[in-house]
Amino acid sequence: MATPKGTSRRLRDELRVEPGMVVKLDRFDPSETYGRDKATSGDELLSDLARLSALQDRMWAQAATAVLVVLQGIDTSGKDGTIRHVMSAFNPQGCSVTNFKVPNDVEKSHDYLWRVHLRAPAKGEIGIFNRSHYEDVLVVRVHGLVPKRVWSARFEQINAWERTLTDAGTTIVKFFLVIDRDEQRARLQARLDDPNKRWKFRTGDIDERALWTSYTRAFEECLSRTSTAWAPWYVIPANRKWFRNLAVAQILGDVLADLHPRYPKPTEDLTGIVIP
C-alpha cells in the first residue's frame, strides 16, 4: 500500500484496502504520515474541513444520496477524536452520530443488523457510526459470545447488507484507525492521570488490552473479508492524531466530491421577484 514519501498519490489510494487483499496489521506503520508534515497540517485541515462543509451543504439540499461513515479501531485509537475534529465540519441538521453499545433487550430480540439498519442515513444525510455492525464479528469473536459458525457467517451477511444500502443510493466509507500497543498504553495512562478524562477510564480497559493479539487477528480477518468495491476499508495510521484527522478529512472529501452534489434548481420561476 505504501509508496515513497513525496509522491503525489492521494491518501485515498494510499490507504484503501483493495478487495481480496489479505491484511496483516504488522505491515502497517501506525506513525506513518506519507510525506505529510505536521507544521502545515493545521492549515491543510482547515481547508479540508471547509471543503467538507461546502459539499455537505449541497448534498443536504439535493437530497439525492446518503453517506455512511464507519469508524472502527481498538480502544483509544481515536474514534471520538476523529468525530470531534473532522465531523465538526458538518451541519448537525444533516448529520447523525450513532455509538453502538451492548445491545439492549429489544435489540437482542431481533437479528444483529436490525438496530443498525434503523440508524442508516436517509438521502441527503451523513450518518456516522462510532463502532458499528462490525462489533458482531469482533467483540463477539474475541470474547466467545457466539460460536465460530455464527460469527464467521456474518462477513458475507454484512457484505450483502452493505450492498443493499449502496444499491439504494448510500455511499459507504469505512475507516479503521490503527495504533500500536505503546501508544495505547500512553493514551490509557493519560486518560487515567487527567481528572477531566478519568471518567472515560474503566478497569475493564486493562483486561481488553490483554487481548491485543486476539483483537488483531479479528481485525485482520474483518478487513480482509469485508473490504469490497462497494464499501471499501481505509486503514488510517493513527499514532499521530494530526495525521489521522488529515487523512480522514481528505479521503472523506474525495468521496463526497465524487458524488458531485449540486444545489437543486428552484421549483418555481423566480424571475423578476423582488422582496417588498
Considering the domain boundaries, does residue 265 fall inside one?
Answer: no
Look at residue 268 and tell me if it is in a domain.
no
CATH number at residue 99: 3.40.50.300
Q: Work out the pLDDT band at 6, boundaries 50, 70, 90.
A: very low
What is the dihedral sign for C-alpha 241, 252, 29, 70?
positive
Residue 255 has pLDDT above 90, yes or no: yes
**What's the average model confidence in pLDDT over 185-209?**
93
Contacts within 8 Å (CB) and 24+ apart, 54-58 = 55/253, 55/256, 55/257, 55/259, 55/261, 56/89, 56/90, 56/91, 56/94, 56/95, 56/126, 56/256, 57/91, 58/261, 58/262, 58/263
Say what the pLDDT of residue 3 is: 39
Average pLDDT, the chain: 94
- For position 166, what pLDDT does the model report? 98
Segment 206-223 mean pLDDT: 97
pLDDT for res 267: 87
Confidence of residue 141 (pLDDT cuts 50, 70, 90): very high
Question: Average pLDDT for residues 91-117, to the nearest whole number?
Answer: 95
**215 within a domain of the structure (yes/no):** yes
Full residue range of the structural domain in which residue 40 is found: 11-258
Contact 206, 125 (CB under 8 A): no
Q: Which of 224, 100, 240 is nearest to 178 (CA)?
A: 240
The stretch 55-66 carries a mean pLDDT of 97
Predicted local distance difference test score (pLDDT) of residue 86: 96
Domain count within the chain: 1
Segment 155-183 mean pLDDT: 98
Question: Would you say residue 143 lies in a domain?
Answer: yes
5 found inside a domain: no
Cβ neighbours for 243, distance < 8 A, ≥ 6 positions apart: 32, 33, 36, 38, 41, 237
Are 138 and 128 a contacting pair, CB within 8 Å? no
Give the residue carrying C-alpha cell 495504533.
179
Please report the pLDDT score of residue 1 as a whole number: 45
Q: What is the mean pLDDT of residues 245-267?
A: 96
Q: What is the pLDDT of residues 66-77, one digit of tens each?
A: 999 999 999 999
Q: How confident is the model at residue 270 (pLDDT cuts 50, 70, 90)?
A: confident
Radius of gyration of the CA atoms of the chain, in A: 20
Three-state DSSP at 76 gives: coil
Please tell me the predicted confidence (pLDDT) of residue 14.
94
Q: In this structure, is residue 273 part of a structural domain?
A: no
pLDDT at residue number 173: 98
Give the number of other Cβ atoms within 10 Å of residue 246's Cβ: 25
In a domain, 4, yes or no: no
When pLDDT is cut at 50, 70 and 90, the band that residue 5 belongs to is very low
Average pLDDT over residues 75-84: 96
CA dihedral 200, 76, 73, 5 (to 10 degrees): 150
**Secondary element (H or E) of residue 140:** helix 135-142
Over range 197-222, report the average pLDDT.
Answer: 95
State yes or no: pLDDT of 241 exceeds 90: yes
How confident is residue 208, by pLDDT bands cut at 50, 70 and 90? very high
Stretch 19-39: mean pLDDT, rounded? 95
> What's the pLDDT band for 2 if we cut at 50, 70, 90?
very low
* Residue 276 pLDDT > 60: yes
Q: Classify residue 113 as exposed, middle or buried by CB count within 10 Å of its CB (0-12, 13-18, 19+).
A: middle
| Confidence tier at 222 by pLDDT (50, 70, 90) | very high
Position 81 in a domain: yes
